[in-house]
Amino acid sequence: MVASEQVLATGQQLETLCINTIRTLAIDAVQQANSGHPGAPMGLAPVTYCLWQEFLRYDPADPTWLNRDRFVLSNGHASMLLYAMLHLAEVRQVDKHGQVSKELAVPMEEIKRFRQLGSRTPGHPESHLTSGIETTTGPLGQGVGNSVGMAIAGKWQAANFNRPGLEIFDYNVYAMCSDGDLMEGIGGEAASLAGHLKLSNLCWMYDHNHITLDGPANWSFSEDVATRFVGYGWNVTRVADANDLEMLARAFETFHKTTDRPTLIIVDSHIGYGSPHKQDSNAAHGEPLGEEEVKLTKKFYGWPEDAKFLVPDGVREHFREGIGRRGHDLHAQWSDLFAEYSKEFPDLAERLRCMQHRELPAGWDKNLPTFPADPKGIATRESGGKVLNALAQNIPWLIGGSADLATSNKTTLKFEGAGEFQAATPAGRNLHFGVREHAMGASVNGLIVSGIRAFGATFFNFSDYMRASIRLAALMEIPSIFVFTHDSIGVGEDGPTHQPIEQLASLRAMPNLIVLRPGDANEVVEAWKIIAQLQHSPAALVLTRQNLPTLDRAKYAPATGVAKGAYVLADAGGNPDVILIGTGSELSLCVDAYEKLNADGVKARVVSMPSCEIFEQQDAAYKESVLPSDVTARVSVEMAATFGWGRYTGLKGRNVGMHRFGASAPLKDLLKFFEFTADKVVAEARAAMSGN
C-alpha cells in the first residue's frame, strides 16, 4: 500500500486531510532545514484552509488579478504556512515582466529548499521573490501595517474607478497576526488608524496562542485585546477553537456582513496543535520538532510516520475544486465586466494598466515649476510642495499625506478635486495619518504594492520611527516615497530633539534606497523627476525648513545634472586645485567659498551631490570627470554627521559637518557656533591644499 493510500485508508475526511497536509509540509520543511517555526503553521492550518478554500476571492492561475482579495501573513515566522498554501493551491509564478507563467510559484522542490540559499522559500516571506506573496513580512507589526495601506487602497480604487453597474473594485484584505504583532507599537497605530477610517474591507485574524518566543505570553502580555479593539472602533468576534471550521466560517461571514468598520477575529489556537506534547513541544519555541517528535506528531495525525513531503491523493484536486474553480470563475466574471468597463471608460482602463505596471501617464512632467535666481531664495520644503502639487495633477494616482505635519512638510495637495481621504470621502487624495509615523511608513508600502503611488511625510528626525518600513520598501524593491523636511540643525530653536544629525549617513547605508538632498529649488524639481520615474527603489527626499538661495543657472551649471546624482556646478576651468562637495542647504556655502577662493586665484570646483546612490550608478568615466582622482584636496560640507564622506574626500580631504548633537538657538547663532560659514569652508579648502 502506497503512502497516500495509507492516509486515505484511515477514513479521515478530506478537509482534515488537507489541513494535515499543510501541517506536515511545514513540519517536514522545518525539520529538513533544521531551522524555522513549525508550531504556528500547525496551529493555524485550519484557519488558513477555511479562508482560502471557502472565502478568499483569489485566482491561483493569475495572482496579478486586480480585484483579488489580499492575504498578508504578518506573523512571517510562520512562512511555511503560506508556502504550503501557495503550493497546494497551485499559485502561478509571475516573471519580471509581469507575465504569468505556467510554472508554480512554490513547486515541491522549493518546499524542500526551505530557508536555503537562492530558494523562493526564505525564512520569512519576500514578495519580490515569490509570486502570491503580497508583501514582505518578518519584523512583527509591519504586515498588519501594510494591510491598512492595502485596505485604504481598496477603498480609494473603488471610489475613483467604480461606475454604476461596473464595480470593478471590491476586494477584501485579510491579515494573519500574532501576539507579537499586537504587542508592537506599530500594530496599535495601524489598528487605531484603520478603526478611525472605518476600513470595512479589512479583517485581521489574531492567533491567540498564549505563547511567545520566550515562553508563555502571560509573562509579558495580559491586556484585554478584544476590549482594546472595540475601543479602536473594530468589530470583534471570537473563535474558541482554531479547528472548528464551522465557527471559523461563521466568523468570516460576519466580516462580510460588517460594512461600517474593520473586523478582528480572535482565534484561540495552540502552537503545535495536534502534537502529543502540544505546548511543551519545541514548536512553541521556534525550533524544529526533532525526528522522534515528528514521528509522534504524524502518528497523532494518522499520517505515515516515515513519509516526507507527502501530498495525499485527492488533496490537490480538492483545492482545484475549491479556491481554484471559485477563483477562476470569479476572475472570468470580473474579466467580462472589465472588458465592458474598458470599452465605456478607456481612459480609466489605461490608467489602471499604467498603475499596475508602474508606468507614468503621458505628460506626467508638464507644467513643473522653474524657479528664477534669487539670493533670498525659498526653503526646499516650500519648493518641494509646489513641485509635488504639479506632479500630482499630472499623475492622478499619486496620493499621500503626513504624520500630522502636512502644513509644516508642505505636502498638502491643494488643487481642485484633491480632497481628503476619510471614511465618508474615500476618493480623496490627502491622507491624514495622525501622529503615527510607524503605521504611516507601513501603510505607504501597502498602498504601493496595491498599485498606488504613495508618499508619507514627517520631520527628518522622525525617520527613525519609520526605519523598519523604509528598509522593507528597499528590500521589496518598491518605489515608496518618503518626504522628510526640517533636515538639519537649521530647525533652530526646537533643539537637538528635533535636529537630525546621523540620519543622512544612516539612510545612505541602506541598500537600494535612493536618498536625495537637493541644494536649491531647481534641484528639487529634478529630484522629484527622478522619484517619479523610480520603479524598483524607494526614495527619501530630504528638505529644509530654512530658505536657500536659488542659484543663478545662467552662471552655474543647470540643475539637470541632478539626474546623475552629482555634477560639476561651478568650475574655474582646467584641473582644479580643490574640490568642494556640498548637498542641501550647504551647497550655497560651497558656492560662496568658491567665489572667495577664485578671487584669491585658487582654481576651485563645486560639486553638487544630492544623491550619492545615483552617482555610484554612473560609469567610471563620468565619476572621474566630476571627481578627478589626481585632485586629492577635497572638502565635503554637510550639516550632519560626516560619517561616509571619506569615500569622496579621501585620506587627505576635509569634512565640515556635525560631530555632536545640535543645540537650541536661533539659526544664525547655530551656524556661527558650529562654523557653517563660507570662511570656514575656505579655511578647510586651504588646509586640504596644504596637506595639513
One DSSP character per residue, 32-51 reads: HHT-S--HHHHHHHHHHHHI
In a domain, 359, yes or no: no
Domain presence at residue 366? no
pLDDT band at 277 (very low <50, low <70, confident <90, very high): very low
Asked whether residue 556 is assigned to any structural domain, the reply reads no
Q: Is residue 341 part of a domain?
A: no
Q: Which of 493, 516, 549 is the last residue of a domain?
A: 549
Residue among 110, 189, 293, 437 flagged as catalytic: 437
My answer on whether 596 and 458 are in the same domain is no
Q: Is residue 348 a part of any domain in this protein? A: no
Q: Are residues 410 and 445 in the same domain?
A: yes
Average pLDDT along the chain:
95
| pLDDT of 272 | 54
β-partners of residue 605 are 571, 579
- Show the domain range for 39: 3-330
Read off the pTM.
Answer: 0.96
Query: Are both 42 and 104 inside the same structural domain?
Result: yes
Burial class (CB in 10 A: 0-12, 13-18, 19+), 71: buried
Of 182, 234, 233, which Cα lies nearest the Cα of 207?
Answer: 182
Q: Do 511 and 578 share a domain, yes or no?
A: no
How many angstroms separate the Cα of 519 from the Cα of each of 2, 223, 389?
A: 71, 49, 20
In a domain, 294, yes or no: yes
Same domain, 526 and 425: yes
Which CATH number do you get for residue 633? Answer: 3.40.50.920
Helix (H) or strand (E) holding 379: strand 374-379
* pLDDT single digits (tens) 506-543: 999 999 999 999 999 999 999 999 999 999 999 999 99
**Total number of domains in the chain:** 3
The answer on 142 and 244 residing in a single domain is yes
Using the 3D structure, point to which of 274, 304, 330 is the last residue of a domain. Answer: 330
As given in the structure block, the three cell numbers for residue 294 are: 515528528
Domain CATH number, residue 469: 3.40.50.970
- Whether the pLDDT of residue 273 is over 70: the answer is no
Q: Are residues 263 and 405 in the same domain?
A: no
Kindly state the helix (H) or strand (E) to which residue 181 belongs, with its residue range.
helix 179-183
Is there a domain that residue 672 lies in? yes
In a domain, 168, yes or no: yes
292 included as an active-site residue: no
Contacts (Cβ under 8 Å, ≥6 apart) of 460? 484, 485, 486, 487, 488, 500, 503, 542
Residues 512 and 655 in one domain: no
- Are residue 64 and residue 141 in the same domain, yes or no? yes
**Are both 290 and 420 inside the same structural domain?**
no
Residue 688 has, within 13 A of its CA and on its CB side, a CA count of: 28
> How do residues 446-490 score in pLDDT, each as one tens digit?
999 999 999 999 999 999 999 999 999 999 999 999 999 999 999
* Residue at which a domain ends, from 295, 311, 330: 330
Mind listing the pLDDT tens digit for each residue in 553-602? 999 999 999 999 999 999 998 899 999 999 999 999 999 999 999 999 99
Comparing 613 with 284, which gets the higher pLDDT? 613
Say whether both 633 and 517 belong to one domain. no
One domain for residues 530 and 574: no
